[in-house]
Structure 1
Amino acid sequence: MAIGVHTLDERQGAEQAVRLVLMHDADGKALVLVPWSGLLNLSSIWKETGRQLQPVRAQDAERFFGQQALQQEEGLRQLLSLPLLLDQSLADEPELLLYEPHSGQEFRVPAGWLDDGGLGVHRLALTRDDIEAGLPSGDDRTLIYRAVEKFTALRIRQRLEDTFGLPSFSPTTQKLLMMRSDPDAGVDALVPVVRIDPSLSAQVMSWAASSYYAAPGKVHSLEDAVIRVLGFDLVINLALGVAMGKTLALPKDTPRGGTDYWRQAVYCATLAERLCRQLPIAERPRPGLAYLSGLLHNFGYLVLAQLFPPHFSLLSRYLEANPHFPQEYVEKQVLNVTREQVGSWLLEGWSLPVEVCVGVRRQREPDYREEHWRYAALVSLSSCLLRQQGLSDGPITPLPAGLIGSLGLVPEQVEEALADILERRESLDELTRLIEKARRD
């Protein structure tokens, strides 16, 4: 299961739809009604009600609103008798089209059915323009510094490098980074570096023996694993991905029901590389860097958890309460910065190739067309396809208009690449487990 729901476009009546949200706390359940196009501001709910209401789990909402009784007027009236919070923009509407995104249920109700004894009418929703207007101005670096200063205790308000404590890499990782940035580096330079690191050698052997790569015959040596089975790009990219993951712990209080971090990373990397190899040769970026961009596309999520530990739980609750809303806007509202901004900033600080940094930073911008844009476009396309399959978190949206054609692909190529990924889910999940194990070791 993944965190995210199908979005509504104008043809489906997004402008008229009202989102129905079931929340709860120690005092019981409550309903919240807000415009579909708005972000539900939990802080407003807590302030106006004095209750610490939280969104119910996606599975619980789906089960609750799927009850047959709600298809009858009596059951619907009973539902609306729960304590109710109404966004002020809806107060004068004579009739409301309620939509519950997890179950897909729709209810058209007269305003007179709403319980007058509810929790009241308040400003509960924020638009994207509201969120943007509340942000400080400046480039990514400035925004990150200001966010850290805002959310960090006074006693440790220092330069971001001091606050964050940028970790240093092992000699092996430093050599891998140098090779990754060297277009002339090859297997002859890589094998000796891997051989002198016992942990990395064991990891490479386990990857080569996994069912995903299905190497004919046994893998007899490290050279065999690197040269015959995995290849230069894959070994160096997986090793770097594991090294990055070891520097930051996986957050504990994540959105409930979300997709595992490394599963998203492996699937996005594999699909981005597969799509990259379908591009016309004259316009094709380096498949290895497309893979690494996908593997690290969500790295900023780990950075947010490291930078803002007291507020990461709050971010998780906002993501649960707004599964239809673009994640970057939820992060801007809660933290003033996005995972793409902090993730690319840190990768730049670690001297990763600029192509990867662009791929991570611009993945939410399907119209981005500056240098190295294809890496970002491949990650954007891969993420969108995987969200539609429940293999990545975030709102489930149609493919950005024109993105496939701008890359030089046709829909049939995209469908074929995705189908191949889905057919190999079992072996990809095995590879994910091996990477998670390598990160823990």
Structure 2
Amino acid sequence: METGKPFDELLAEQGAGMKLAERMRRLRDLPPLPETVIRILALRQHEEVNARDLIDIVEQDPVLAAQLISYANSAFFTHHSPVTAIDDAVLRVVGVSPALELALGLSVGRVLHISTDGVLGARRLWRHATYSAALMQQLAGQIPAAKRPDPGTAYLCGLLHDIGLFVLGYLFPQEHQALSQLVQRHPDVALNRLEYNLMGVSHGELGQMAMRYWDMPQMLATVARHHHNTDYDGEHETLIGLLNLVEALLSSQGLTDTPVLELDEALLERLGLEEENVILIADEVIQAGDSLEQLARQLCA
């Protein structure tokens, strides 16, 4: 931690904590979800998603179509000919269910525009999100079948788990900037401690409230709220445990908002994963980073 003024004194200078009533009132200032998101959410309610319906939605959103095609051309898929059409991306490469979740995450991600630069700026947040999503998707497929989450759902959770930091930057830009400065000055202090002392609320809570305000799936609200909770024990514990594992794997690469974390052997055992295989998969994701960096840049645009 930086020497000089005591930590608590520095926090006091940044301003008083945010009151619950103020937080709830400002949620009304969130932008409405775009039509693309509403249509995808409606489609997601179907027991079996019609591929043609999804393709029709994506084709009417040129930005989303370009992002989905870009992802289909990434190193994660072992195809030989370039993907140039949404039909190919959905049906031949990505798959209908994963493409649906990817389209939902990318569409929600474009709703909140915040400052690009800084340790909590959009550039770093989307970089973390795209790596997290890819690693979540790859690792989900290795979990034993009895508790294995859908890889597309795992991807969606990885992409949107930090949505609360975007909510903070959008609704409370001054507090977002102050928090970013504190993170830079005190990299060894847990982010949630900095948040509670500065604002009286964590980005997890803000993310949960935004997901509820938008009437997003309960799973996403729970993941947004508890993704840093290593003791979470509930309906979505596999997804949240996987996010904790991903956080540890990416921390050594400087791709998280946390200090370097050790892999938790008990967590690996609960998920049914082998450490050697997990590290190998993480290396493969990092090696395929060019396509993830491109997707992160698109989300910042």
TM-score (norm 1): 0.62
Match of 1:42 in 2: 10
Q: Distance in 2 between matches of 1:147 and 1:426?
A: 41
Q: Distance in 2 between matches of 1:304 and 1:198?
A: 28
Q: Distance in 2 between matches of 1:304 and 1:193?
A: 29
Question: Judging changes above 3 Å, is the alpha-carbon distance between structure 1 residues 377 and 182 closer, same or farther for their aligned structure 2 residues?
Answer: farther
* More RCO (CA 8 Å, sep 6+): 2
Say how many residue pairs are matched.
301
Match of 1:55 in 2: none
Q: Is the 8 A contact 1:344 1:360 kept in 2?
A: yes
Match of 2:60 in 1: 196
Deviation of the 1:291 alpha carbon:
0.8
Q: Distance in 1 between matches of 2:273 and 2:76?
A: 25
Match of 1:267 in 2: 131
Question: Judging changes above 3 Å, is the alpha-carbon distance between structure 1 residues 333 and 284 closer, same or farther for their aligned structure 2 residues?
Answer: same
Q: Distance in 2 between matches of 1:186 and 1:388?
A: 40
Match of 1:96 in 2: none
One-letter amino acid of the counterpart of residue 379, structure 1: L
Q: Secondary structure at the match of 2:277?
A: helix
Q: Is the 8 A contact 1:254 1:316 kept in 2?
A: yes
Q: Distance in 2 between matches of 1:45 and 1:218?
A: 54
Q: Distance in 2 between matches of 1:160 and 1:276?
A: 36
Residue in structure 1 matching 2:23, options 122, 144, 148: 148
One-letter amino acid of the counterpart of residue 145, structure 1: L
Question: Judging changes above 3 Å, is the alpha-carbon distance between structure 1 residues 300 and 181 closer, same or farther for their aligned structure 2 residues?
Answer: farther
Question: Judging changes above 3 Å, is the alpha-carbon distance between structure 1 residues 221 and 309 closer, same or farther for their aligned structure 2 residues?
Answer: closer
Deviation of the 1:267 alpha carbon:
0.4
Deviation of the 1:161 alpha carbon:
3.8
For residues 29-428 of structure 1, what are the structure 2 equivalents within 5 Å?
31-32=3-4, 39=7, 41-43=9-11, 145-146=20-21, 148=23, 159-162=25-28, 165-213=29-77, 215-219=79-83, 221-252=85-116, 254-255=118-119, 260-400=124-264, 402-428=266-292
- Superimposed CA distance per residue, residues 213-264 of structure 1 (whole angstroms, 9 cap, x where no aligned partner): 4532133532112100122233323322232222211225633899712110
Farther-moved stretch of structure 1 (405-414 vs 253-262) = 253-262
Deviation of the 1:402 alpha carbon:
1.3
Q: Distance in 2 between matches of 1:258 and 1:189?
A: 31
Q: Highest Rg: 1 or 2?
A: 1
Q: Distance in 2 between matches of 1:379 and 1:396?
A: 15
Q: Distance in 2 between matches of 1:422 and 1:406?
A: 24
Q: Distance in 2 between matches of 1:220 and 1:325?
A: 46
Q: Is the 8 A contact 1:148 1:307 kept in 2?
A: no
For residues 19-38 of structure 1, what are the structure 2 equivalents within 5 Å?
19=1, 21=2, 31-32=3-4
Deviation of the 1:166 alpha carbon:
2.8
Q: Is the 8 A contact 2:207 2:224 kept in 1?
A: yes
Q: Distance in 2 between matches of 1:413 and 1:228?
A: 27
Q: Which has the higher helix share?
A: 2
Q: Is the 8 A contact 1:256 1:320 kept in 2?
A: no
Q: Is the 8 A contact 1:276 1:285 kept in 2?
A: yes
Deviation of the 1:385 alpha carbon:
1.2
Report the RMSD for the aligned CA atoms in angstroms. 2.9
Q: Percent identity?
A: 31
Q: Which has the higher strand share?
A: 1
Q: Distance in 1 between matches of 2:62 and 2:90?
A: 15
Q: Distance in 1 between matches of 2:83 and 2:151?
A: 24
Gapped runs of 5+ residues in structure 1?
A: 1-18, 22-30, 48-133, 136-142, 150-158
One-letter amino acid of the counterpart of residue 355, structure 1: M
One-letter amino acid of the counterpart of residue 4, structure 2: V
Question: Judging changes above 3 Å, is the alpha-carbon distance between structure 1 residues 198 and 257 closer, same or farther for their aligned structure 2 residues?
Answer: closer
Q: Is the 8 A contact 2:251 2:260 kept in 1?
A: yes
Deviation of the 1:422 alpha carbon:
2.2
One-letter amino acid of the counterpart of residue 204, structure 1: L
Q: Distance in 2 between matches of 1:412 and 1:367?
A: 24
One-letter amino acid of the counterpart of residue 389, structure 1: Q
One-letter amino acid of the counterpart of residue 32, structure 1: G
